[in-house]
Amino acid sequence: MDSKNKKMILAALAVVSIVVLIIGITYAVLTDMDDKNNKFKVGNLDIEIVNLDLKKNNVSTRVIMPGEIDVVSWTSENVGTITAKTRHVVDIYWKDVEDINAITEIAAQDLLILYPANLSDAEILADFENNGNKRLATEVTEQGVEPKWTVEAIPTVVEKKVNNKTVYGLRYKFLSATLDGSNSTNDTKVSSQDLSFKVFLRPDASYLYQQKEIGVDVVVEGLQDNGDGEWTIADAEGI
């Protein structure tokens, strides 16, 4: 092989080497970018509602009488891998009250009132009688997450189908805790939240509420902690 052919072969090999190097670098860069774009998307969102109950004097009940103060409580637990913000929708409705006028005859926010669970019954009664401000905050706007979502302690009237029957109740919305998933690197993981509220049916509520069975439905939604993605329904439970 003469000198000219050797030079041509070497030049061709050099070109091939450069092309292979460029392809390798490009692949590495794209892979790194892909990893950065997806590092928060690996895993699963799995939040469960457990131990949902309505209690009167620490005993399960399904009836709220006018003037009574009962407790609704549950635990939301992150059993998935992704750390997630949470929010809840709570429907409290009467299974045997089919007349919407029974709900709207008194302004919804003053018919069935939710109070923080750490208030005593005496404090709640005094607050109600004095038109106080110890009930749950009426409006808090979430910051830093789009779309913004308003927490409503002032409820809205909700119409539901239960066993093929139309019933009416009240709907509350709450922003809740950020729960760590199993992939979390936090030194102290918080993977569950106990939620509890005192439920007060005003004393002068209609006779239509006497001895009527209550239903409670809770929905928990999750959003990846870094804000990626959308709010997703993770679980729903009812009693």
Among residues 95, 63, 67, which one has the least CA distance to residue 206? 67
What's the rounded Cα separation, in Å, for the pair 204 and 223? 40
Q: Note whether 62 and 98 are same-domain residues.
A: yes
Q: Note whether 29 and 76 are same-domain residues.
A: no
CA distances from 40 to 87, 93, 210, 233 (A): 20, 38, 51, 19
Q: Note whether 63 and 143 are same-domain residues.
A: yes
Q: Is 123 helix (H, G, I), strand (E, B) or coil?
A: helix
Q: Note whether 13 and 62 are same-domain residues.
A: no
Q: Note whether 68 and 30 are same-domain residues.
A: no
Structural domain harbouring 119: 47-238
Q: Note whether 9 and 94 are same-domain residues.
A: no
Q: Note whether 105 and 187 are same-domain residues.
A: yes
67-126: pLDDT as tens digits? 999 999 999 999 999 999 999 999 999 888 766 776 766 666 678 888 888 899 999 999
pTM: 0.75
What's the rounded Cα separation, in Å, for the pair 110 and 31? 57
Structural domains counted in the chain: 2
177 versus 42: the higher-pLDDT residue is: 177
In order, the DSSP letters of 76-114 are EEE-SSS-EEEEEEEEEEETT---HHHHHTS-HHHHEEE
End-to-end CA distance of the chain: 89
Q: Note whether 53 and 21 are same-domain residues.
A: no
Q: Is 11 helix (H, G, I), strand (E, B) or coil?
A: helix
Q: Note whether 63 and 25 are same-domain residues.
A: no
